[in-house]
């Protein structure tokens, strides 16, 4: 089964981040020439861009696939896979109930936006990893 966490294609996340990177570069150039935004705003923009680029490009999964005994995932710029038996827990995020956390042994947890169809993925993980705690309540 394949769970698509976002209705938009994964390349679109990269495209949006590229637009924000170009805007950041233009603001830095304008600030260097003395006609840009205040330095505090520029610092905030760059920090916010870095934060969003890290989370949305590398950490938030756009697609999670459960194929037999293999769990695979894709973010905007990377992908990975692990045996479904490596899943130790599936739970809601502490910060946002619309984000699920899939904890894996020896790896960083997967962050997955929760949409229609996630419950089916969670049931599939529970069936494939009987030792995993699945708590989406």
pLDDT in tens, the chain (137 residues): 999 988 777 778 888 899 999 999 999 999 999 898 999 999 999 999 999 999 989 999 999 999 999 999 999 889 999 999 999 999 999 998 899 999 999 999 999 999 989 999 999 999 999 999 999 76
Q: How many CA atoms lie within 13 A of 40 on its CB side?
A: 0
Task: Tell me how far the alpha carbon of residue 69 is from its chain's centroid.
Answer: 22
Radius of gyration of the chain (CA): 18
Q: What is the CATH number of the domain that holds 49?
A: 2.30.29
State the total domains in the chain. Answer: 1
pTM: 0.83
Domain extent at residue 9: 1-137
Instruction: Give CA–CA dist 82/70, Å, rounded.
Output: 6
CB–CB of 42/50 below 8 Å?
no
């Amino acid at each position: 089964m394949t769970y698509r966490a976002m209705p938009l294609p994964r390349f679109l996340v990269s495209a949006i981040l590229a637009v924000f990177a170009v805007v950041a570069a233009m603001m830095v150039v304008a600030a260097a020439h003395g006609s840009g935004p205040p330095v505090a705003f520029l610092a905030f923009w760059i920090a916010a861009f870095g934060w969003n680029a890290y989370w949305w490009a590398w950490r938030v999964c756009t697609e999670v696939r459960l194929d037999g005994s293999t769990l695979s995932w894709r973010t905007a710029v990377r992908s990975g896979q692990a045996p479904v038996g490596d899943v130790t827990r599936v739970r809601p995020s502490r910060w946002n109930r619309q984000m699920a956390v899939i904890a894996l042994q020896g790896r960083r947890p997967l962050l997955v936006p929760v949409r229609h169809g996630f419950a089916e993925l969670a049931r599939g993980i529970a069936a494939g990893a009987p030792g995993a705690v699945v708590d989406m309540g």
